[in-house]
Amino acid sequence: MELIQNTPDLSAYLAADEVVDHHHPLVRETVARLARGADDSYAYARAAFDFVRDTIPHSQDSGDPRVTWRASDVLEQGTGICYAKAHALAALLRAEDIPTAFCYQSLLQDDGSGHVVHGLVAVRFNGAWHRQDPRGNKPGVNAQFSLDGEQLAFTPDPESNELDYPALYAEPHPAVLTALRAAPDRPHLWKTLPAAL
């Protein structure tokens, strides 16, 4: 699948905003801590990915009812669903001048009752975009940072009408942000997640 930049200007994929608040002191502190052990930008990107994947539990897996959406809040509260974890990883990467995009998949819900949009990121290295999924591993999910072929949490099944959206967004999709901002808690959010973009 060819990934398509939604915005031609690459600098848009480095920008800070209300969601990807990489100017926030907590984000900067986390960046500094992760950068200390990294020899280059690739090693830093892998460390940031591992940090978000492994130390910030996916709130559905952990049973945490809190809803986070701003990168600094995800880091502070240590919880988030796929979208929020993607926002946190984007902030950590963009803070170190690594272009990072938001991308999405449409997947069947766990109970098979319909589709839901799943969020991940893409990083730009060596002139190409590479998708990464920091959602968090669990039995049946083994996402890894890779620039040599994708190792994502989920592979869409076309027979179930699942799909990868090819668009790379500089900002989180409005449908995602609307659902996150409106939800008082995760059980409510689960009923209002976007089914498509």
Please list the residues that pair with 181 across neighbouring strands: none
Look at the block and give the residue holding tokens 């959602």.
135
Task: Return the SS3 of 124.
Answer: strand
Greatest CA separation found in the chain? Answer: 46
How far is the C-alpha of 159 from the C-alpha of 163, rounded, in Å? 10
Name the phi and psi angles at 23, rounded to 5: -85, -10
Structural domain spans, the chain: 4-192
> What is the C-alpha to C-alpha distance for residues 22 and 55, in angstroms, rounded to an integer?
18
pLDDT of residue 129: 97
Whole-number pLDDT of residue 113: 82
Per-residue pLDDT of the chain (197 residues; tens, 9 = 90+): 899 999 999 999 999 999 999 999 999 999 999 999 899 999 999 999 999 999 999 999 999 999 999 999 999 999 999 999 999 999 999 999 999 999 999 999 877 789 999 999 999 999 999 999 999 999 999 999 999 999 999 999 999 999 999 999 999 999 999 999 999 999 999 999 999 99
CA distance 64 to 126: 38
Distance separating alpha carbons of residues 152 and 144, to the nearest angstrom: 7
Q: Distance between CA atoms of 13 and 80, rounded to whole angstroms? A: 22
Return the CATH class of domain 4-192.
Answer: alpha beta
